[in-house]
Amino acid sequence: MTTAGDIMHRGAQWIPAHETLDRAAQLMRELNVGALPISDENERLCGILTDRDIVVGCVAAGHDPARVTAGEMAQGTPRWVDARADISEVLQEMEGHQIRRLPVIDNKRLVGMISEVDLAEHLTQGQMVEWVGNVYARSTSR
């Protein structure tokens, strides 16, 4: 059985909810990622911030990224998967909520992220085509 822990990209880092978007963009550049999980003061997942959120939700809206916090951009219920979850559960979560990045949690701690690249390395071509069709076909955001 292939698990979320088997396919995830290790070394994911939180961005605290109180951090500004300019700092989040710097961290994304340093880590070479396009998304960061947002943590509350207890290091619990409270959202995910993407590079697109910063550009569209802040900069293009005329806001100053040095004054807007990651927590202010967190919207909706954050989705995640347990490190022991089977890959079918990972796909179901991502497809069902049309998300392209999924934090992996183990013992209430962030241990990794799963992205399209991770899926492409572990799925068959047919599985990947189906995933893309389900996630992108109806998607209107992110």
Q: How far, CA to CA in Å, does 89 sit from each of 24, 51, 102?
A: 29, 26, 11
The domains found in the chain, sorted by start residue, are: 4-136 (3.10.580.10)
- Pseudo-torsion of CA 54, 130, 104, 40, nearest 10°? 30
Residue with tokens 């701690």: 109
Q: Along the 142 residues of the chain, how does pLDDT read in single tens digits?
A: 899 999 999 988 999 999 999 999 999 999 999 999 999 988 889 999 999 999 999 999 999 999 999 999 987 788 999 999 999 999 999 999 999 999 999 998 899 999 999 999 999 999 999 999 999 875 454 4
The whole-model pTM stands at: 0.85
**Cα gap 21→94, rounded to integer Å:** 25
